[in-house]
Amino acid sequence: MTLKFLKLSLAAAAAATAFVSLPAHAGKTLEAIKARGQVICGVHTGLAGFSQADSAGAWSGLDVDYCKALAAAVLNDATKVKWVPLNAQQRFTALQSGEIDVLSRNTTDTLSRDASLGLHFVATNFYDGQGFLVKKGKVTSAKQLKGAAVCVQAGTTTEKNMADFSRANNLNLKPVVFEKIEAATGAYFSGRCQAYTTDASGLASTRAKEAKDPSEHVILPDLISKEPLGPMVRRGDDEWLAIARWVLFGLIEAEEFGIKQSNVEEMKKSTDPQIGRMLGSTEDLGKHLGLDKEWLARAITATGNYGEIFERNVGSKTALNLPRGKNALWTNGGLMYAPPLR
């Protein structure tokens, strides 16, 4: 081999290197958001009550409100959010690759997701469980579903939970797995499957949105799994993780202290020192997070506290009509317990 050949091949390899390089270490999400002027939020493609776009393109829902609160806390403006609808297969890769800053898409916190994907679970914003939706009249309990065909969407914890439940109770359930949620619900309502399974909140949302006669369908009372749903962020940026967690905890703590969307300004004058800390009138907690002292006040003004978010999106006045249940404050018998903001 001549020297010329070696020189040529080295030159070619060097040229190839110019196109490919290691990107900057993942971190500094807050700086990128401030520079961009926008929070990029990954949401569900369309799940009533959690994240749904209306005909004008405006997004609403429990998960959507969380991102709005986050944008208000970080960027002073709840509208500075870019919404990226994602299906169950794309959601983790979009977050891992840096395409989105936060994934607020009713994702269940599990060990494998928290530990092996390079992602962090932020905190639970909705305690749920997996259930079955069936036509009224034939069965009253999930344990009677022997041999039923069950429609399920691909790529969720649902399939494994259903298999575990089926084996434990000797039910021989037949899963019919679809990629798109509309195909799965369509097959259930057309009668191909005798049951549809997903988180109970998703069942309520589907029944409200797609059933011709919602009273003909019943959600069976057995919840076969624990599904703590909440947002996720990337590993390697603890600063952003802290902001994401404490915005959520702040909204929950605000409900505990009675701070509502309508009375934020009045509450700033309150003599209660804890409220003063939260709203920034006595102490500045925001600087620990890299934000200014009005961070939580802005968030609550934008979306209300956790209870208001719940009532607005999935509460008794909406089509889903979900009771607070496990999502009530700990003082009311539920599981929503925020660590103190101080």
Partner 1 sequence: MIEAQPIPKNKTRSMSWGSREGRGLIYQLVAIAAVAALIWLLVTNTLANMRLRGIQSGYDFMSQPFGFDVSETLIPYDVMSTYWIAFAIGLANTLKVAVLGIFLATVVGTLIGIGRFSSNFLVRKVCYGYVEFFRNVPVYLQLLIWYIVFTDLLPSFDDAWVMGHAYLSKGGLSFPWPVWKTGQSLAVIGLLIALMPSYVYARRARKHFDMTGKNRPVLPVVFSLIVALSLLGWLVGGAPMEWSLPEKGFFQVEGGSSLSPEFMSLLVGLVLYTAAFIAEIVRSGIASVSLGQHEAAASLGLGKRQSMRLVVLPQALRVIIPPLTSQYLNLTKNSSLAVAIGYPELVSIANTTLNQTGRAIEALSIVMLVYLMLSLITAALMNWFNASSAIRER
Question: Judged by CB under 8 A, which of 36, 160, 287, 342 binds partner 1?
Answer: 160
User: Shortest approach of partner 1 to residue 161 CB, angstroms?
Assistant: 9
Q: Does 342 bind partner 1 (CB under 8 A)?
A: no
- Residues 188-247 close enough to bind partner 1 by CB under 8 A: 190-192, 194, 234-236
How far, in Å, CA of 111 to CA of 122, rounded? 13
User: Which C-beta is closer to partner 1: that of 32 or that of 117?
Assistant: 117
User: Shortest approach of partner 1 to residue 159 CB, angstroms?
Assistant: 4
Count CB-CB contacts under 10 A for residue 20: 6
Question: Judged by CB under 8 A, which of 31, 36, 89, 258 binds partner 1?
Answer: 89
Q: Does 111 bind partner 1 (CB under 8 A)?
A: no
Question: Judged by CB under 8 A, which of 50, 121, 178, 240 binds partner 1?
Answer: 178
Q: What is the token pair recorded at 38? A: 């926008």
Q: Does 5 bind partner 1 (CB under 8 A)?
A: yes
How far, in Å, CA of 139 to CA of 126, rounded? 28
**Total residues contacting partner 1 (rule CB under 8 A)?**
60
Q: Does 180 bind partner 1 (CB under 8 A)?
A: yes
The piece of 149-157, 260-268, 302-310, 314-322 that touches partner 1 (CB under 8 A) is 149-157
What does the angle CA 156 – CA 109 – CA 302 come to, to the nearest 5 degrees? 105
User: Which C-beta is closer to partner 1: that of 112 or that of 271?
Assistant: 112
Q: Max alpha carbon distance in the chain (Å)?
A: 85
**Do 299 and 251 touch, CB atoms closer than 8 A?**
yes
Q: Which of 253, 255, 243 is nearest to 278 (CA)?
A: 253
How far, in Å, CA of 124 to CA of 330, rounded? 14
User: Which C-beta is closer to partner 1: that of 157 or that of 303?
Assistant: 157
How far, in Å, CA of 91 to CA of 76, rounded? 27
User: Which C-beta is closer to partner 1: that of 114 or that of 266?
Assistant: 114
Count CB-CB contacts under 10 A for residue 17: 9
**3-state class (DSSP) for residue 95:** helix
Phi-psi region of 255 (alpha: psi -120 to 50; beta: other; left: phi over 0): alpha
How far, in Å, CA of 244 to CA of 290, rounded? 12
- Site pattern 129..148 for partner 1 (x: CB under 8 A): ----------------xxxx
User: Shortest approach of partner 1 to residue 298 CB, angstroms?
Assistant: 31
| Site residues for partner 1 per CB under 8 A | 2, 4-5, 8-9, 12-13, 15-17, 20-23, 25-26, 88-89, 92-93, 96, 112-113, 116-118, 145-149, 151, 154-156, 159-160, 162-164, 166-167, 173-180, 183-184, 187, 190-192, 194, 234-236
